[in-house]
């Protein structure tokens, strides 16, 4: 069921999600949500996430070949490591040459250098850029 509400943003940029919507989505105090802004479409999307309050995430930019099967090969590595993909977006950088896959995922239980090496060796990543960890903001 879809609900529509018109909300006001306060002076600190906050909104209140109406109780009926929180209840329908199972949102409680300390629930995690992902907020995605799209300036081209002039929209915000809020997506509930099923994680504990002390979960830490990472944002990764992975450069891969722009060829059939490349994205599936790199995403398979995430599955083998037991990592969920909270968000992913792929953009072609140079048609037929390179693409960039931006991902938000829980941090793996290994050193970042090892994780980057595995993505290159097993996933055929050209380059991996792991940005600093993102703590859930509660």
Confidence of residue 134 (pLDDT cuts 50, 70, 90): low
Strand partners, 43: 38
With contact defined as beta carbons under 8 Å apart, do 49 and 138 qualify?
no
For the domain spanning 56-135, the CATH number is 3.30.70.260
Q: Tokens 């590595």 appear where? A: 77
The 10 Å Cβ neighbour count of residue 14 is 9
State the DSSP H helix or E strand holding residue 103, giving kind and residue range, or none if neither: strand 98-106
Tokens linked to 53: 């309050």
Confidence of residue 138 (pLDDT cuts 50, 70, 90): very low
Asked whether residue 105 carries a pLDDT value surpassing 70, the answer given is: yes
pLDDT attached to residue 4: 85
pTM, two decimals, is 0.68
Tokens linked to 75: 């995403």
Confidence of residue 112 (pLDDT cuts 50, 70, 90): confident
């Amino acid at each position: 069921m879809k609900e529509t509400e018109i909300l006001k943003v306060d002076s600190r940029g906050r909104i209140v999600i109406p109780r009926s919507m929180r209840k329908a989505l199972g949102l409680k105090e300390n629930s995690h949500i992902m907020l995605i802004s799209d300036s081209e479409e002039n929209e915000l999307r809020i997506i509930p996430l099923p994680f504990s309050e002390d979960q830490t995430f990472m944002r990764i930019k992975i450069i891969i070949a722009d060829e059939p099967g490349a994205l599936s090969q790199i995403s398979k590595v995430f599955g083998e490591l037991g990592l969920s993909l909270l968000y992913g977006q792929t953009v072609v950088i140079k048609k037929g040459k390179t693409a960039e896959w931006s991902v938000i995922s829980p941090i793996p239980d290994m050193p970042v250098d090892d994780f980057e090496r595995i993505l290159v060796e097993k996933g055929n990543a050209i380059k991996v850029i792991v940005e600093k960890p993102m703590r859930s903001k509660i």
